[in-house]
Amino acid sequence: MEFEVWPEAIELGHMFAEQGYELSLVGGPVRDLLLHRKSHDLDFCTSARPEEFEPILKRFGRDGFWDMGRKFGTLGAMRRRKDGTEVQVEVTTYRSDRYDSDSRKPEVSYGDSLEGDLSRRDFTVNAMALRVPDLEFVDPFGGANDLSKGILRTPVDPRQSFEDDPLRMMRAVRFVAQLGFHIEPDTAEAISDMVDRISIVSAERVRDEVTKLLLSDRPHEGIEALVDSGLADIVLPEIPALKLEIDEYHRHKDVFEHTLMVLDRAIALETGPDGPVPAPDLTLRLASLLHDIGKPGTRRFEPHGKVSFHHHDAVGAKLVRKRLKALRFDHHVISDVSELVNLHLRFHGYIDEPWTDSAVRRYVKDSGHLYERLNRLTRADATTQNKRKALMFSEAMDELEDRVRELKRQEDFDAIRPDVNGNEIIEVLGIKPGPEVGRAYKHMLDYRLDHGPADHDTALAELKRWAADEGLIAE
| Confidence class for position 252, pLDDT limits 50, 70, 90 | very low
The whole-number pLDDT of residue 247 equals: 46
Residue 94 CB neighbour total at 10 angstroms: 22
Q: What is the pLDDT of residues 106-148, one digit of tens each?
A: 666 788 899 999 999 999 999 999 999 999 999 999 999 999 9
Cα 233 → chain centroid:
18
Q: Give 382's DSSP letter.
A: -
List, for residues 291-329, the tens digit of each pLDDT value. Answer: 999 999 988 887 877 788 889 999 999 999 999 999 999
Q: What is d(CA 221, CA 353) in angstroms, rounded to the nearest whole number?
A: 38
Note the pLDDT of residue 268: 98
Q: Which residues of 203-241 are buried (b: 16+ CB within 10 A; e: fewer)?
A: eeebbbbbbbbbebebbbbbbbbbbbbbbbbebbebbbb
Euclidean distance between CA atoms 23 and 388, whole angstroms: 64
pLDDT (0 to 100) of residue 100 = 58
Q: Is the pLDDT of residue 31 over 60?
A: yes
346-356 pLDDT, tens digit each: 998 887 788 88
**pLDDT over threshold 60, residue 246:** no
Of 32-41, 129-138, 194-203, where does mean pLDDT reach its minimum?
A: 32-41
Q: Is the pLDDT of residue 55 over 60?
A: yes
pLDDT for 98 equals 58
Residue 339 has pLDDT above 90, yes or no: yes
- What's the CA dihedral at 320, 381, 258, 237 to 10 degrees? 0
Residue 2's pLDDT is 55
Residue 129 · residue 138 · CB < 8 Å: yes
Lowest-pLDDT choice from 97-111, 129-143, 439-453: 97-111
d(CA 172, CA 174): 5
Q: Identify the residue with better confidence: 425 or 137.
A: 137
Mean pLDDT of the chain: 91
Mean pLDDT of 209-221: 97
- Using CB atoms within 10 A of its CB, is residue 53 exposed (0-12), middle (13-18) or buried (19+)? buried
Instruction: Using the predicted structure, report yes or no on whether residue 357 has a pLDDT greater than 90.
Output: no
- pTM, 2 dp: 0.85
Q: Which of 75-84, 89-98, 201-210, 422-431 has the highest mean pLDDT?
A: 201-210
